[in-house]
Amino acid sequence: MQEDLPMDVVACLAAIDRTDADIKAWAVIDKQAASSGSDMLSGPLSGPLYGPLYGMVVGIKDIIDVAGMPCCYGSPIFAGRIAETDAELVAGLRAAGAIILGKTVTTEFAFMQKSITRNPHNLAHSPGGSSSGSAAAVAAGQIDLAIGTQTGGSVIRPASYCGVHALKPTRGTISREGVLQTSQTLDQVGIFARDLNYLARLGSVVTRQPDLEDGLTRLPASPPKLLYLDGLYGARVDGYVHEGLQKIAAALPEHIDILPAPEAEIARYLDTHKVIYDFEICQNIGPLMKSHERQMSSEILAAIKRGQKVSITDYDKALDEREEAAAFFEGLLAGYDGLLSASATGEAPIFDEGTGDSICNCLWSLTGYPCISLPISGHFQISGPNGLGVGVQLTATTGRDSALLGLARWLETRLG
């Protein structure tokens, strides 16, 4: 069917021309790459560029180097910076035949200050952050595939707000060479796509795990079993989100066990994430304060100043607690294929209110577990008071990326 085909460069540029004056998803578009991509598609389907992503157009978050393109990290401090070489993941995309169309908008240093990008479904609302442009460009139908990053909730949360599919794979499976470092412990690369098939195809390339696509069609050895933690994150998650998840759990009782959320451990490990993030963002971005404080947002300055107050002893303790967290959730999920939760605390906030709360994602950035966001529609769709959807998040333990994609396909089919 025509609608199942990937968008070509011409279609992408046309969609951008129609919609991006309002959405503002792009920091830069490479016209030369677009022209070269069109030429490539008019030639024979052979040669070194005929790979798994042949002719597919990808947007790259503007904290990731693409040779010859600006990479400004969402900050005026780096205005005019041109990347000299491709990030390792970008080189992999090119080798797979992908067309790098341009750089998508990021929040400043991939942190919390809102970007210029708007939510394609309602321009009065935020697309989330920090991978604002990547999620919005896919949601607006401007591209099929995009790359983002997550340190707190910067892939899964904007996917939820924008109603697209996203995967944050197991930490370390996508190279961070050539990607801005804000937290050496927590930074992870993630991906966005218009559907699970494209998500798996892109994931297979950037993670170098060819079995990701196989995971979509591989039959499970036994009926899937999920865990749902009732009341997870408490009042920070909107009531209608809790109700929507309970409705899903009640509809699949043979597949979903319901247990009370372990509140003490969750609170402790959320604090662990915060200590590590503040300390390391202070290490990595803090030195810019000396000469550029006036060009930095209040949000990033506040994080740096918090980090300055974290002692080495407390930081080292937090790193140990990170290992404890991974072991704790490994035990909690023993015997389960994954955890069912919300991708965000609610629908996308009003634009001027910021990029939203990342509490639903921080634990999986801390542990490095793979997680996926699904934009459920129909009877089981979770929608807020303004009619914007909330994604369903599936999380699995380390290394179970392929099985997670299969689980996502199963759940999407059951709830569709």
- List, by residue number, the catalytic residues: 61, 130, 154
DSSP β-ladder status, 165-168 and 99-104 = unpaired
- Both tokens assigned to 216: 């979509």
State the CB neighbour count (10 A cutoff) for residue 32.
9
> Nearest to residue 96, comparing CAs of 146, 46, 48, 134?
48
First to last CA, the chain: 20
Would you say the C-alpha torsion 156, 160, 162, 164 has a positive or negative sign? positive
CA atoms of 92 and 87, how far apart (whole Å)? 9
User: How many Cβ atoms from other residues are within 10 Å of residue 378's Cβ?
Assistant: 7
Q: Residues 6 or more apart from 51 whose CB is under 8 A from it?
A: 95, 96, 97, 98, 205
2 to 5, 26, 292, 416: CA distances (angstroms):
6, 26, 50, 21
